[in-house]
Amino acid sequence: MTEHLPRILIAEDDDNHRIALKLMLKLSKYDAIEARDGQEAIARTLSEKPDLVLMDISLPVVDGLQATREIRSHAEFQNLPIIIISGYDSQETLDSVQACGGSSYLSKPIEFDELKKVIERHLANQPLLNTF
């Protein structure tokens, strides 16, 4: 029987950020999948049922806040940890993250140790959605 690695969706349009996050997650024993825009993030969440989502706010097609609202509109994803990531660090941004259903907020540049702690905290409090 193979060990289940928690699956994390990285919704990030910047290739360099997405690749760096994916590498860091893989080194930390997570299964990382990717989306390059908000619409793809919604579709991949619905089809692949990740255990956690890292969602950039500034995404093409559908922004990260709207994508989060859309994901939350599906009953099975009401408790899915969605960590919102943005370069905007203001009270307005924090209010928007809370309003759309974000689980946590991290500002760029991301400190990987901090990200890892937030991921671990969320996964410890969540039953894994991907248990096959």
Query: Confidence class of residue 126 from pLDDT cuts 50, 70 and 90?
Result: low
Q: How far is CA 61 from the centre of its chain?
A: 17
51: nearest Cα among 109, 8, 101, 87: 8
Q: For 39-69, write each residue's pLDDT tens digit.
A: 999 999 999 999 999 999 999 999 999 999 9
Q: For 91-101, write each residue's pLDDT tens digit.
A: 898 899 999 99
Residue 67 DSSP SS3: helix
Which pLDDT belongs to residue 130? 41
CA–CA distance, 44 with 115 (Å, rounded to integer):
21
- The predicted model scores a pTM of 0.91
Which pLDDT belongs to residue 89? 80
